[in-house]
Amino acid sequence: MSESPNRASALAELAALAENVERCRERIVALAESQRLATYDPKKPENDDGLLMAIYEAERGLINAVRLLQRAARSR
């Protein structure tokens, strides 16, 4: 069974979106690392950085988004 051009185009677009979201996730990871290094104080390990936690939460959301987009792109 062959795919319609519209379906093939949609699947290709989903795959491209997954790649772009993955690149955004990588940028978030880099931001988290720079924030972690900027706020790390070995004398006060109990300090909770709300911004850093929000960044990690955003990364987890993007991981899920990438997985869902990849799954959709593999739909047949």
Integer distance in angstroms from the first to the last C-alpha of the chain? Answer: 10
* Confidence bin at 38 (pLDDT 50/70/90): confident
Rounded CA gap, 47 and 57, in Å?
A: 18
Q: 46-74, pLDDT tens digit by residue?
A: 666 788 899 999 999 999 999 999 999 99
Q: How confident is the model at residue 35 (pLDDT cuts 50, 70, 90)?
A: confident
Joined tokens for residue 35: 């924030």
Q: Is the pTM of this model over 0.85?
A: no
Q: Report helix angle 50-73 to 5-39, nearest 10.
A: 160
